[in-house]
Structure 1
Amino acid sequence: MTLSIIYINYNTRQLLKQSLKHFFLISPAIDFEIIVVDNNSTDGSAEMLLEEFRQVKLIKSKKNLGYAGGANLGLKNASGSFVAVFNADIFIIQNSLETAINYMDNHTDIGMAGPKLINADGSLQYSCYRFPRPYTPILRRTFLGETKWGKREVDKYLMKDYNHNDARPVDWLLGGALIARKSALFEVGFFDDQYFLYFEDTDLAHRLKDKGYKVMYLPSSKMYHLHRRESADTGLLKSLFNPATRAHIKSAIKYFWKYKASR
C-alpha cells in the first residue's frame, strides 16, 4: 500500500460527506486506502459513512480524542508507506497527492510535506510558518498585533516574505493537510496526544526536524481548505468563552514549556 489517507472527524458529517464524494470523483492514480477516525460524533457521521461509503475504513472512538489522539488512532491502523492526515474540510485537486508522493519518493530526507492550501475564493491560505515565539499567540489575539512591530512579527511568522510558489523547507505546516513518511512518524512517536487541539502539528514538525528530517512546503501540490479558525472569535475576552480558544491556550502553554530551552 502506497498511501493511507486519514480523515479526522468530529461532528462534521455534511462536510465530510462532500469531501469524500469529491475525493472519489478524482480518485488518485496510486494505491490508497481511506481511514476515517470518528471522534465520538453525535451528528450521525458514523451512520452516514456506513451507509454511503462502505469502501472507507471507519474507526469509531468511544470518546473525543482530539486531533492528535484521533490522528494517532488512524496512524496505528494505516497500511501505507506514506500517510496523509486531513481535516474534513480538505478538498484535493487533481494530481495533488501523486505530486507530493513522487516528490517525497525522490527526496528521502523529507519526513513531512504540506500542499499549497487555497481558500474557497481562490486566494492563498498561509499554511507554512516559522516556529512561534511565546508572544506570537498574544499578537494574533490582541490589539498588539495591529501595531507596526506586531504586524511585522506576525507577517514574519506567517512567512509573508516568502514566495509561496516555490518549494522549500519550512519550520512547520498547518495540520489540516499533512503528508508524511510513515517510517519517520514511527521514529518520532507520532503526534503528541498531550495536545488535545492545536500545536500538535507544530510539535510534530519540531521533533521531525530534531531527528534530521526536512519539513517541506510543496506548492506544486494544491488543495482547497474551507477553513475557519474556531478559536478566532473577535476580541480576547469573548474568545475566552470559546472551548477551542481555551484548548488553544492550554496547548500553547504545553508547547512553550516543552521547548523553553530552544526558544
Structure 2
Amino acid sequence: MLFSAIILSNTKSQSIFDMTLHCMESMIDAEKDNSTIKFEVLLIESNKQIHDSTYKFPDYVKVIIPSEDFNFHAFLNVGIKAASGDFVGLFNNDLIFQKNWFSEILKVKEKHPNVQSFCPVDYDSKFTPQSFFNGKPYVFGYKVRRHIVGWCIIAERKLFNKTGLLDERFSFFYADDDYSLMLQKHGKKHVIVANSEVSHLESKVSKELEKKKSAFFDDVEIPEKDIPKYIYTEQNRWMLERKKLLEGHIIFHKKWGSPKKVAIKSKIGRIFIAYGLGFLNKYFM
C-alpha cells in the first residue's frame, strides 16, 4: 500500500523547515509498525529559491516548485497529479501524526469499501472534543471544521477520477467548503475517524501569516456590484475588512448558490446519500 503525502510549505525560515521536517518524520514514524504501508512524500514548495538555500530535506522527499504564486487548491492539484499512491494526503506542514493514524483509517475503509474521503481528529480542537464521537469509532458527515478539516484530508486517489481535481478558483478561503459540496454533489461519503489522531499546530502558522496579514487579506479589489447586499448587514460587515475571505465567499456562492440555497441543497443531498441515492445529487447541486 503506497500512500502519497502532499505537503504544502513556504520554507522561508529555520522554524518552518524544522516544523515541516517534524511533520514528515512523525507521519512515517507513527506507522513504522505496519510494514504494508509505504510513503511517497511530495513537498509542494512556495519558496522558489529553496534549492539555493541551506534548507535540505531528506532524499525521500520530492520537492516540487510550481511556477505560479501560491494557490491552495492549485498546489494540491500539482501534488495529486504527481502522486503514485493508492491514497493521497492533502496536508498542511504544521501537523504531528500520532501512532497508527493511517492504520485506523484503513480499518474504517475495510468496513466501508465505498468510502473514499477521510479525516483524522485533533482533540485539542474545540470543534471535535472526545464527546463529539459519543463512543463511536467514526462519524459520517460533511460539516467543515467538524467532519472535514482542510488541514488534513485523506482520500483514495481514484476519488478525483470521479469528482475531477480541486477547483482552483479557491486560492485559500472556502476551499474546505467547496470540497464538502463537491463530495456531496458526487454522492461520496466522508468520515472522521476517532482513533486516527493528528495534532494541528495552527498557532505557529498563524504567527507566520500574521506578518503578512495586510497583503494576505487585503491585496484584492472586488467590484461593488459583486458584493451581495447581505454582506452590508451588521452580522456580515466584518467581511468587508477581509477582502480575500470575501472574495472566496463570493466565488463559493456564485458557484453553489446563495447561503440559503446551499443549506437546502446540502440537506437534500445528505438525505439522498444516506438512502443510497447520491447519484441524483449531480442533477440539482
TM over 0.5: yes
Q: Secondary structure at the match of 1:76?
A: helix
- Structure 2 counterpart of 1:184, from 129, 152, 159: 159
Q: Secondary structure at the match of 1:124?
A: coil
RMSD: 3.0
CA distance in 2, matches of 1:240, 1:100: 36
The structure with the larger Rg is 2
CA distance in 1, matches of 2:111, 2:141: 18
CA distance in 2, matches of 1:184, 1:55: 26
Contact 1:113 1:217 in 2 (8 A): yes
Contact 1:13 1:48 in 2 (8 A): no
CA distance in 2, matches of 1:160, 1:25: 25
CA distance in 1, matches of 2:197, 2:245: 27
1:6 Cα offset (Å): 0.7
- Structure 2 counterpart of 1:170, from 136, 141, 157: 141
Taking structure 2 as the reference length, the TM-score comes to 0.68
The answer to whether structure 1 residue 39 and structure 2 residue 46 are counterparts is yes
Contact 1:40 1:63 in 2 (8 A): no
1:189 Cα offset (Å): 1.1
Q: Which moved more, 1:79-88 or 1:166-175?
A: 166-175
5+ unaligned residues in a row in structure 2: which ranges?
218-241, 264-285
1:256 Cα offset (Å): 1.8
- Structure 1 counterpart of 2:116, from 111, 116, 123: 111
How high is the sequence identity, in percent, across the aligned residues? 18
> How many residues are aligned here?
221
Q: Secondary structure at the match of 1:206?
A: helix
Contact 2:26 2:98 in 1 (8 A): no
CA distance in 1, matches of 2:134, 2:7: 26
Are residues 84 and 201 of structure 1, via their aligned partners in 2, closer, same or farther at CA, if it must alter by over 3 Å? same
CA distance in 2, matches of 1:45, 1:94: 32
CA distance in 1, matches of 2:108, 2:130: 24
Post-superposition CA distance 1:242-263 (Å, at most 9, x none): 6144322211111122111434
CA distance in 2, matches of 1:262, 1:160: 29
- Match of 1:99? 104
CA distance in 2, matches of 1:183, 1:256: 27
- Match of 2:249? 252
Are residues 223 and 252 of structure 1, via their aligned partners in 2, closer, same or farther at CA, if it must alter by over 3 Å? same
- Match of 1:13? 17
Contact 1:6 1:71 in 2 (8 A): yes
Task: Identify the structure with the greater strand proportion.
Answer: 1
- Match of 1:3? 3
The answer to whether structure 1 residue 82 and structure 2 residue 55 are counterparts is no
Taking structure 1 as the reference length, the TM-score comes to 0.73
Are residues 200 and 48 of structure 1, via their aligned partners in 2, closer, same or farther at CA, if it must alter by over 3 Å? farther
CA distance in 1, matches of 2:199, 2:245: 24
1:96 Cα offset (Å): 0.3
Q: Which amino acid aligns with 2:192?
A: Y
Contact 2:43 2:62 in 1 (8 A): yes
CA distance in 1, matches of 2:168, 2:9: 16
Are residues 115 and 102 of structure 1, via their aligned partners in 2, closer, same or farther at CA, if it must alter by over 3 Å? same
- Match of 1:197? 172
CA distance in 1, matches of 2:41, 2:100: 17
Contact 1:40 1:61 in 2 (8 A): no
Are residues 247 and 104 of structure 1, via their aligned partners in 2, closer, same or farther at CA, if it must alter by over 3 Å? farther
1:78 Cα offset (Å): 0.5
5+ unaligned residues in a row in structure 1: which ranges?
128-158
Q: Secondary structure at the match of 2:169?
A: coil
Are residues 41 and 252 of structure 1, via their aligned partners in 2, closer, same or farther at CA, if it must alter by over 3 Å? farther
